Chains A and B, each alone.
Chain A
Amino acid sequence: MRQPYDGVVITAPVTLPCVRYTNETAHWWIARALKEALQVIDVAPQQLDGLSISSFTLAPDTPVGLTQHLGLTPRWLDTVPMGGASGVAALRRAARAVQCGDVDVVACVAGDTNRIDSFRNLLSAFSRFSMDATFPYGFGGPNASFALIQDAYMQAYGATRADFGKIAVAGRANGLRSPNPVMTRPLALEDYLNARMISDPICLFDCVMPCAGAEAFVVMREDMARAKGLPFARIRSTIERTNAFPDDPMQLRGGWEMDVEELWNMASLGPQDMDLLNTYDDYPVISMIQMEDLGFCAKGGGPAFVGAHDLTIEGTFPHNTSGGQLSQGQAGAAGGYLGLVEAIRQVMQTAGNNQVPNARLACVSGFGVINYDRGLCSAAAVIEGDV
């Protein structure tokens, strides 16, 4: 039985609204999110104890160079290159370091820039296998990779486009309630079904918008948070897995399935106890796979489960309560923080217009890094509000 995360809390959730294109660098975005988080916890940059960074666009710098750039002198520095799984992965690493006393406070920040044409360049150098064996085949980017996954999923389990459309439509409804969504127009199922195809069966409203932005949160000792009078959330359980099920011909399941029992056992909770679920939603199909693999329904039961529930904030199964990346945009690695940062706000009861009434327990999952034909990183956490 794994040791609980006693004495460690999460606080200071920060979301910078995404923008489609920017000339500002990843350094600029990370600095802004970090500044906001440090103001909340009332720590000067020079006094920051620990730092965890996730970014695709810092090159030629690493987080080491970033410390000099930003005038930080941390005694603990981490870099988490797990894409959409970065949020949970950064959280669980920081939490253990704080718990063991290697560090007292860790600011976890993810941020990326997006210049015109930089997405194409980013993809071209994304990974060796994608350079060698994915992009020469039509260069559809992640759209094409997820199209193949969705195509195989639809064949295997009889899902229809409308099943995925329901996730996108509910997400948009949630997103429109948030302060600064990238997607500002309401979406009806009919709009989704009539949308132009991008990479069949993926349509326009299945695809995230590559953006620039940053997200942050802070992990610290519980006694410090109490002393500072900060609201916080606790970690009940976490899992991560890299390169799960390598012999599956197509990715119809992620690493969550390998570790889901441990996730709920460690939390002493079950899926039925959750007040909300925030999945990594760069495409609705992967949200549906997360619902299955995390045990909210059986494998292949995703379409029926989604069909039976209302996924909006006041619905029977609140899902991606800020609208997810499909509404807020995908700011590189910050997309891997978005669901977690929103869940922290939810269980702290500070989600404003997007608040799920009386939310106390949230499940968050991440998914990242299509290295060749599938996402290699998966992670999930259960967090709880201190109320």
Chain B
Amino acid sequence: MTDPLAPPPKKDPQKRTNTPVLPPAARSRAALGLAIMAGQGRFALQVCDDCQAIQYPPRDACHKCLSTDLPWRDVDPTAQLIAETTIRVSPEPYFRERMPWRMGAARLTNGPTLNCHIHGEVTRGDTVKMALKLDKAGQGVLIALPTEGSDTMQDDPILRAMSCDPKHRRILISDARSPLALALTEALLAAGAAHIFLGEPEDWRAWPERAEFECRDNVSLLPLDVTDTSSITRLASEIGGKTDILINTAQFTRPGTIMQNDTTFARDAMEVNTLGLMRLAQAFGPTMAARAQDGTNAAAALVHILSAQALAPDAGFGAYAASQAAARSLCNSLRAEFRPSGLRVLTLYTGPVEGDPWFQPLPPPKVTPKALARTLVSALIDGLEEATCGDIATDVFTRWQENALLLEREKTGGGA
């Protein structure tokens, strides 16, 4: 049983905010595969294609047969914790601030011994479930988790630092008018979020769904238009210091081919879908990065919801797909820019959303706002960098990972 995390006290403005320090970040090229798998929530290790031996630590040649064909494969995460220690002295500032620190050695079923972090609910001798998580340095690390954790297992301090759990955090959703906003608000509050701020573009324009937000505790509607720099700056000066997670839901969608679509629509798509994210990052990013290790409700993540068309365009959505691809590229750059702070960028890929009028004529499957909200909350809790929601996005993401060029051919009708 993990002690439940208490709500953080009000911040003392006289106290210096902790400067983010990172755990060791240097890795070999092979070991970067751990971060890729951790970012997607997979427990995968290199497995020899010739002799099936599981490899760890990551390497360049098989320790059993010298094969250099070592693809990453999902492996059984069951292990036994065979030794443990509680480190009380370390020369590394990140760990010094967090002493004592438990780590151990876990023997994977049919596999090697893994040095790992240890969840507070497991102890030597236990059968454990190994997981790969992104640590504050953005690197993939192993943690031994209980096979059946308690309800409060996410409150374990080591696990919490690898997660972007909404619990006790204050969250800004950039566009309240998005068909996703209400479902997200409900899911985040249910996950223990302390407060939901919602940006309201064009607040002079009435909209009946507003009543759904007005009646709730711990929910505020505030003027925000992601195409208007001064509106973003105003809001950031008001709540930038208490925005722990920023979820960008602002979207501009107009179907149309490249040759026939109006470039005005294309410009609007860029203004909202791409530059809107950039403006939000400029206004909120520096403060969030500075607060990335500010206690229980430290700033944790910037979340951007992307159409799966960011990976490969659908026919008839040329400019829209371009704005999504550009936003995806911004997310990658932001990941690098936030790396020194430990602030995470989560990109959530989705297919057409049910209830979005601009996707009305498209056939199913579609993603319901509730399903997307569920996926987003669990991706935050799991501390992911990339997640997909719905069959279409999952299918596209899988095919894109396997062969991006083939996916493009298929999507643009070049294939059989």
Contacts and interface: CB of A to CB of B under 8 A. Distances in A.
Nearest to A374: B113
A202 B84 CA distance: 11
B24 A124 contact: yes
A197 B85 CA distance: 10
A382 B69 CA distance: 44
Contacts of A128: 28, 57
Interface string A116-141: 01011001100011011111111111
B209 interface: no
Given A151-B83, A249-B113, A132 B58 contact: yes
A135 B28 contact: no
A120 B87 contact: no
Nearest to A121: B91
Interface string B73-93: 000000000111111111110
A246 interface: yes
Query: What bracket does the count of chain B residues touching chain A fall in?
Result: 35 or more
Nearest to B108: A249
B82 A138 contact: no
Nearest to B158: A138
A222 B357 CA distance: 95
A140 B82 contact: no
Range of interface residues on A (Cβ < 8 Å): 35 or more
A199 B92 contact: no
Interface stretch (B98-106, B223-231, B310-318): B98-106
Contacts of B107: 249
Contact of A152 (B26, B27, B31, B83): B83
Contact of B95 (A131, A139, A372): A139
Given A124-B26, A131-B26, A199-B88, A137 B83 contact: no
A144 B91 CA distance: 12
A143 interface: yes
Contact of B115 (A123, A124, A131, A137): A137
A141 B115 contact: no
Contacts of B139: 136
A162 to B, nearest CB: 19
A197 B101 CA distance: 13
Interface string B281-306: 00000000000000000000000000
A249 B104 CA distance: 12
A144 B63 CA distance: 25
Given A120-B92, A144-B103, A136 B87 contact: no
B117 interface: yes
B268 interface: no
B89 A373 contact: no
B115 A372 contact: yes
Given A136-B141, A250-B113, A141 B27 contact: no
A139 B90 contact: yes
B175 interface: no
Interface string B108-124: 00000111110000001
B115 A151 contact: no
Nearest to B107: A249
Contact of A133 (B31, B94, B137): B31
Interface of A: 117, 119-120, 123-124, 128-129, 131-141, 143-144, 147-149, 151-152, 155, 196-202, 246, 249-250, 372-373
30 contacts: A123-B91, A124-B26, A128-B57, A131-B28, A133-B57, A133-B58, A133-B114, A133-B115, A136-B24, A136-B139, A136-B141, A137-B117, A138-B87, A138-B90, A138-B103, A139-B23, A139-B87, A140-B85, A144-B87, A148-B85, A148-B105, A151-B83, A151-B85, A151-B124, A155-B83, A196-B88, A199-B85, A201-B85, A249-B107, A372-B115
Given A148-B104, A373-B105, 20 more contacts: A117-B91, A119-B91, A123-B91, A131-B26, A132-B57, A136-B137, A136-B139, A140-B85, A140-B89, A140-B90, A144-B103, A148-B115, A152-B82, A196-B88, A197-B88, A199-B86, A199-B88, A200-B86, A246-B63, A249-B105
